[in-house]
Structure 1
Amino acid sequence: MNTENKGSDKLEMIAQQSFTAYPEMYKIVDFLNRTLKEKQIIFGLTKTKDGKMTISIYET
């Protein structure tokens, strides 16, 4: 993680959305992370116990 611009190791969440689980969603998140890393945007994906997924968008 590049922290030169902000001087902090903290990520700031800018959006989060839950939805029905999609088995290959991790491929989309990986694509977005590789494509937008220079824009200092990071995507996270979690799967909950109730079978939903949550995508989070962070700014570094």
Structure 2
Amino acid sequence: MESKIEIISTVTVDYQSDLYKIVDALNRTLKHRDLMFGLALEKDNQEKAVFTIYKT
């Protein structure tokens, strides 16, 4: 069975050291709704983070 991951939304925000805690909490509480959340630093600007919501 093939798993398809769809990007629902992406937003760029100022990086803060505790952002990963929000992403972790969202992933733990909303995985039963087939949602997944990601956080990555921008390649060109390490002071910005890209927050992405996925539907799995």
Identify whether the pair has TM-score above 0.5, normalized to the shorter chain.
yes
Unaligned segments of structure 1, at least 5 residues: 1-6
The percentage of counterpart residues that share the same residue type is 41
- Indicate the residue corresponding to 1:55 in structure 2: 51
Give the corresponding residue for 2:4.
10
Q: CA deviation at 1:22?
A: 1.1
Q: TM-score, normalised by structure 2?
A: 0.88
Residue equivalent to 1:30: 24
Deviation at 1:9, TM superposition (A): 1.7
Counterpart CA distance in 2 for 1:18 and 1:46 is 10
Structure 1 length normalisation: TM-score?
A: 0.83
Equivalent residue number for residue 37 of structure 2: 43
Structure 1 runs of 4+ with >3 Å offset: none
